[in-house]
Amino acid sequence: MKRPAARPTGSGGPLGIICGGGDFPVQVAEAAQAAGRDVLLIGLQGSADPGIEAFPHVWAHVGEVGKVFKALGEAGAQDLILVGSVRRPAAKDVKLDWVGMKSVASLGRLLSGGDDQVLAGLITFLEEHGYLVLGIPDVAPDLLVRPGPLGRSKPDKAALSDVAVARKVLEVLGPFDVGQAAVVADGRVLAVEAAEGTDSMLRRVAKLRAQKRLRGEGGCLVKMAKSGQDLRVDLPAIGPKTVEGAVEAKLSGIAVEAGRAIATDTAALVKTADKAGLYIYGFGSGGGVP
């Protein structure tokens, strides 16, 4: 699932945005429009936010492949991007049209295996049908976290040492399609994310601290793309809710890989972090930032 070394960054023409949950699809649509592209938002029934209706859009059930392809054709969109969270669809949110029926074997295969495999399979499916699938770095690079501190607070030496431990943990877990996040305080690994998601992991740390079951204070949340991960899918993301979770867990800050993680709703995120004295930090990425 490595991304090809040299890949076209798209036609620059109309962009189809396949929208899962959250308000991130809307932010991507705004960024693409600001860069001068027309957009068509495809809202996945049961996942996407009604906010997408502020843009040219169609709604589609999972499985309405023909409807989606037709709408993209009418908009002249050859480039696609997949954005937002998608839960395993409920039966009522699945509906197979004629093209969906013909593709049911390929689509069925997508529903086994880990998240990485599902999304990789979906990209292959779309590319086999002639679309070019782009990533946030291609379409909305301003949404990527930049190197260094994002708000007023900065990680001190002890914090950077915790960040380094968490990065190592996530690096060794890379091959396993496990979660992309860990919490470390005073060199000790307090939590590793797997299927539960980052918010749930932070609630767990908050609870352990409330029960006084943890030694030490502070600590960091680190989120990282898996090694070899296709940056067109499932980039690690932080937003205001992540910061609230980190505050509840009494952490000192959050660190993500610069250029390989998304900050959603940056203004609100930084405001919340600054108010609580948390650092938000982009590490690595070659810019002289450790």
Residues that bind its own copies (CB under 8 A): 87-88, 111-114, 165, 168-169, 172-173, 176-178, 182-183, 186-196, 200, 204-205, 208, 212-216
Q: Which residue has the tokens 């590490």?
A: 283
Contact 225, 260 (CB under 8 A): yes
CA distance 263 to 180: 15
Burial 203-212 (b: 16+ CB within 10 A, else e): bbbbeebeee
Least gap, CB of 184 to its own copies (angstroms): 9
Residue placing its CB nearer to its own copies in the complex, 113 or 277: 113
Least gap, CB of 94 to its own copies (angstroms): 14
CA distance 221 to 251: 7
Q: Token pair of 265, please? A: 């709703």
Residue placing its CB nearer to its own copies in the complex, 91 or 105: 91
Angle value at C-alpha 117, between 112 and 118, nearest 5 degrees:
60
Residue placing its CB nearer to its own copies in the complex, 208 or 289: 208
Contact 95, 64 (CB under 8 A): yes
Number of Cβ within a 10 Å radius of residue 20: 18
Least gap, CB of 194 to its own copies (angstroms): 5
Least gap, CB of 28 to its own copies (angstroms): 25
Residue placing its CB nearer to its own copies in the complex, 77 or 120: 120
Residue placing its CB nearer to its own copies in the complex, 113 or 228: 113
Least gap, CB of 24 to its own copies (angstroms): 20
